[in-house]
Homo-oligomer: A and B are copies of this chain.
Amino acid sequence: MIALYTALITGAIMAGLQAASAAPPGGEFPSKVPVPADNPMTPRKIHLGKQLYFDPRLSLSGDVSCDTCHNVAGNGSDGLPLSFGVLGRVDRPRHAPTVFNSAFNTVQFWDGRAKSLEDQAKGPLLNPIEMGMPSSGAIVKRLAGIPGYRREFARVFGGKTPITFEHVVQAIATYERTLVTPDSPYDRYLKGDKNALDKSAKQGMHEVSDLGCASCHAGAMFDNPGLPMGTGWFRKFPMIPTNPTCATYVREYHLADDPGRFDVTHKQSDEHVFKVPSLRNVAVLAPYFQNGSVGSLRTAVRVMAACQLGKTLTGLQTTNIVAFLNSLTGKFPVETMPHLPETPDSTSMMQVAKLQQNQRQLN
């Protein structure tokens, strides 16, 4: 079902070529995104998916879009500790991951509960605290009330019922697969431009390999060693909460409050277990961790060293690792904005008036 993902092996090849010095901790940015066989990418589907991604009418209140929390203009996240959904609601303490390069995640969500971008997109749409749509039928009905969408879905999907919930998430996932950030300084370095990393970043690169960071943050995306799509790569976090430095961080940043993957599998061994997140663009994606509790990259690096490796870093080590992490910031594409189809005689959106009346009474 998932196309073979050959580019993921590039990392291993590069590592082999450079065997004389320490192997770089991750591989080169993939030249292709993995695309499920049953949802091929086409320009028209990308166009529709972009409209849907930016359309707040996909939420109960009509003011929250995918882009609200996964802000394309803001490196693909909202830059906040947690996120605000419909009516200012805040869900359990999980920070919104970036949409950029999410096409490479082998599983989605912090707890890995979705095996594809298509499955992921269903979650927030129907979550009462996020986009709050009461049912997949309500989404279909709302879109069917917009003539521009009726035309677009018919063109992209055809058939007797062009607008279905499956088609909505297929289009959104297709747009998301275009949001990739290749050509970081690290990638240029791997391609042979030895000046793409300065001395500090190179030193940091060796630290990341030597300290053991790369045993989890592995592969081209620094998030798994090359597993097939749909296969999760998980780690307990915090791994060593008894380390005294880690214990301090755990208290200060509430790092052990979230049961993590236990919520999905209900296995004791999955308590505090999370998907290993990518290090790509990490320097421009503060705040950090599943609960977005740490604002500083330096602190995040120290927390990881203490809680996952049981190590206390020197100031210089931290500086060098941060320099290396900065070299993983890729080129963000220049995106054009979609033009959302109008709701003429917009009776479907007029239902929001009742919600707004309730909210006014809270002032």
Q: Is A56 in contact with B82, judged by CB distance below 8 angstroms?
A: no
Do residues A335 and B337 form an inter-chain contact, with CB atoms below 8 A? Answer: yes
Task: Give chain B residues whose Cβ lies under 8 Å from the Cβ of A298.
Answer: 345
* CB of A144 within 8 Å of the partner chain: no
- Copies of this chain, whole number: 2
Looking at the complex, which one of B62, B73, B89 makes contact with A363 (CB distance below 8 Å)? B89
On chain A, which size bracket covers the interface?
Answer: 35 or more
Residue-wise interface mask of A (28-69) relative to B, using a CB-CB cutoff of 8 A (1 in contact, 0 not): 000000000000000000000000001111000111000010
A362 in the interface (beta carbon within 8 A): yes
Q: Are A79 and B57 in contact (CB under 8 A)?
A: yes
Taking a contact as CB atoms under 8 Å apart, the answer to whether B293 and A353 are in contact is yes
Q: Which one of A229-237, A242-250, A280-288 contacts B? A: A280-288
20 more contacts with CB within 8 A, not counting A84-B87, A90-B357, A286-B342, are: A55-B74, A56-B71, A62-B79, A63-B84, A73-B340, A74-B340, A80-B352, A81-B349, A81-B353, A81-B356, A82-B356, A89-B359, A89-B363, A90-B363, A93-B360, A286-B346, A287-B349, A287-B350, A296-B346, A332-B339
> A interface vs B, CB < 8 Å?
54-57, 61-63, 68, 71-75, 78-84, 86-93, 129, 283-284, 286-287, 292-293, 295-298, 332, 334-340, 342-347, 349-350, 352-353, 356-357, 359-360, 362-363
